[in-house]
Amino acid sequence: MPIRVLLVDDQPILTDGIRTILDTRASEFTVVGQISHAKEVIEAAQKLTPDVILLDINMPHKNGLEILRELHAFTTITWKPCVVMLSLYADKHHIADAINSKAQGYLVKMSVGEKEVLEAVRTVAAGKTYFCPTSRAVRHALMDEPTHQNKTLTQAQMSIAKLVAVGRSSKEIAEELNLALSTVENHRTNIYRKLNIRNAAELTAYAKEQGW
């Protein structure tokens, strides 16, 4: 079954190029739509039910991050698209906003090539996260910073702690966050130590207390 992709950007020259890349691999990908106006995205997404949406972060009239947050409200048990943000920028501010808005991927337009597009779509469709090489270093730096929610945990540890709290295994977390299993296990050990808890059950109780 081909991965269904919706392209959203106000610059057709970019989406035309991405569409060409995907169309040449029709057995693996199907472009279900190509949109240039922010106001059409939600309706089109609900109608076309794509698996992956490549979404411009700086759309006219409405920010792509606002659209992403609206999409979260319309997802269902049977349809929850993965969203890869397209941006001209690879700075800390834009990438942090994308992460906080629960984007599954990030592509910097100026460095987007065939390899990055294909890898991004394949990776997020498989339930993992993808950040292009240009944005990856910034993302790693952000993951090492303490969060505002809990000053004792880094962003990476918070992400893992929340997944542990909802019952995910270390293997499942590693696959979802595109991390090595040993990395996840090390983070879990540090999370328990920092929060002075002993196991996943105690972490779940702590998460409820904190309102995660």
Cβ-Cβ contacts under 8 Å for 12 (sequence gap 6 or more): 34, 36
Per-residue pLDDT at 173:
92
Give CA–CA dist 50/78, Å, rounded.
12
34/88 Cα distance (integer angstroms):
19
CATH topology of domain 155-210: Arc Repressor Mutant, subunit A (1.10.10)
- Extended strands (E) in 81-184: 82-87, 105-108, 130-131
pLDDT of residue 151: 53
Q: 154 pairs with which residues across the strands?
A: 146
Question: What is residue 17's three-state secondary structure?
Answer: helix
Sign of the alpha-carbon dihedral angle for 185, 191, 193, 198:
negative
Greatest CA separation found in the chain?
54
* pLDDT tens-digit map of 107-147: 999 888 999 999 999 999 999 999 999 999 898 887 766 55
DSSP labels, 171-199? HHHHHHHT--HHHHHHHHHHHHHHHT--S
For 69, 84, 87, 101, the CA distances from 57, given in Å and listed in that order, are: 12, 9, 6, 11
73 Cβ contact list (under 8 Å, min separation 6):
none
| Residue whose entry in the numeric block shows the structure tokens 């469709």 | 125
The token pair that represents 121 in the structure block: 């779509």
Topology given in CATH for the domain delimited by 3-136:
Rossmann fold (3.40.50)
Q: Where are the domains of the chain?
A: 3-136, 155-210
pTM for the full predicted model:
0.70
DSSP state of 147: P
pLDDT band at 148 (very low <50, low <70, confident <90, very high): very low
Helix (H, G, I), strand (E, B) or coil at 52: strand
Least trusted range by pLDDT, from 64-78, 169-183, 196-210: 196-210
Model confidence pLDDT, tens digit, residues 161-194: 999 999 999 999 998 888 889 999 999 998 988 8
pLDDT in tens, 88-106: 999 888 898 898 888 999 9
As a whole number of angstroms, the distance between CA 83 and CA 71 comes to: 9
